[in-house]
Chains A and B, each alone.
Chain A
Amino acid sequence: MMTAKTMKYFSWVFVAASFLLASAPAWPQQKNATELVVAAAADLSTVLKEVADNYEKKTGTTVKLSFGASGALTQQIQNGAPFDLFFSADMDYPRQLISAGQADGPSPYEYAVGKLVMWVPADSPLDVEHKGIEVLLDPLVKKIAIANPQHAPYGRAAVAALTHYALYDQVSSRLVLGENVSQAAQFAESGNAQVGFVALAHAIAPSMQGKGKYWEVPSDAYPPLAQGVVVISHSAHKKEAVEFLQYIKTKEVSELLRKYGFTLP
């Protein structure tokens, strides 16, 4: 018969065991196949997933992806985040890492050029496809979502475009800043902002099919969104990282990038 004391003992054992089991995934594991951890800018969320899947089928190496704002990811890497590669949405952040000795030089590989679009929900009365930048003058437009130009390349591009069209001063009070271009897209998709300056990759992603209309901002309106990738110096899987980088340069990947709204340099 179980005494109260025995019961208590077993309860504690049970609790301790549960904790151990629950934390098991956090334990360092002996990896059988190699695993790469990749930091990538928000606009690559759809395309890189497919690239990673293909790569795994081909080589057996798993690629784990972590998406975020290029600026935030740079900070994390500078503070020792265990990434193997970093796909930025610009060239400056990777260059920063190279000069700080945290990425392998001599310079970032330009893997794609991003495109800026203006996006509105499918049911919006704004005819962005034909009117383009003019829609910003419509009184319906109360909020315009862009990525934070302080640290997001797409944000900087949006500001550049607005300046180019001499609309910045007019609309600046109506700007809402997303932490990264994904959040800007979120603001526009949820309807809280009537218009969003987002990546083309977002606008044409499969999950967005039929949900919105967009207008490609002419490339002369903003400095090209050259996007660079670097291998992180403190990576534990240099060999595999470099191999993955080589794979990025292949035609296969270029096709995918184009499909998802990027152009090649």
Chain B
Amino acid sequence: MNIDWQTFRLTLQLAVTVSAVLVVLGLPIAYWIAFSRWHWKFLVEAVVALPIVLPPTVLGFYVLVALGPRSPLGRWWISLTGHTLAFTFTGLVIGSILYSLPFAVQPFATSFAGVDRKLMAASATLGASPLRTFFRVVVPLSIPGLITGIALSFAHTMGEFGVVLMVGGNIPGVTRTVSIDIYDRVQASDYGGANATALLLLVLCFAVLATVYSLNRRAWSLGLAKNL
């Protein structure tokens, strides 16, 4: 019963990287969704939500073929980086970002939309720019939504399988994540190994989520969640 620790390290790296990027990327998108009054906003919301229903095969297809060396975009990427997007950690990160986007953006946006607009108006009348209002008023009052979004993207990426299967190439230490490892072991009839690995992943994810949600609970009790 041997656990491949490298896969765990890699998967954690992937989940942390993706969550971090999603905070940076997701905040502005969520802000726009929460506060924009554009007539066609619902189209953007639908696009952001697509990865929830999209099978990973679609995403994998696009990364593999549409962004492959035969496409202009792919060739541009190769000229920039020297190699294809597929079979790289970066490729996994990009695929996972697209795949976990709604899991970050939606809780962020809901939280932002719940902030009392009068507070934002007050901030503006006191001379604060929209950016300052965002960081000093909107974000602090949206902590539970932010925590939820980060936790969900982290967990979603930890468990990611489809996209990694499609474009990872199963390279140890680079693209062999825990979920791929479990799958391979099952196929090779290594049930013991598969079981141990799966259990460990389950416990790890549970521990992370439990920690995050307990933080969230503290945030609630401190009243940070309440919009007065």
Contact = CB atoms under 8 A, between A and B. Distances in A.
Direct contact of A and B (CB under 8 A): yes
Given A176-B170, A187-B169, A143 B69 contact: no
A71 B68 contact: no
A227 interface: no
Contacts, number: 62
Interface stretch (B82-90, B147-155, B198-206, B215-223): B82-90
B188 A190 contact: no
A142 B186 CA distance: 29
A142 B84 CA distance: 10
Give 8 nearest A-B pairs by CB, closest first.
A176-B169, A177-B170, A71-B187, A191-B69, A151-B187, A192-B86, A190-B68, A192-B84
Given A176-B169, A177-B171, A192 B87 contact: yes
A143 B188 contact: no
Given A186-B64, A190-B68, A192-B86, A150 B171 contact: no
B208 interface: no
A177 B169 contact: yes
A150 B184 contact: yes
Interface string B43-82: 0000000000000000000001100111000100000000
A187 B86 contact: yes
Contacts of B187: 69, 71-72, 74-75, 148, 150-151
Contacts of B188: 71, 150-151
Contact of B184 (A143, A145, A148): A148
Contacts of A192: 64, 68-69, 84, 86-87, 167
Nearest to A180: B187
Contacts of B86: 176, 187, 190, 192
B86 to A, nearest CB: 4
Contacts of B30: none
Interface in A165-224: 175-179, 186-187, 190-193
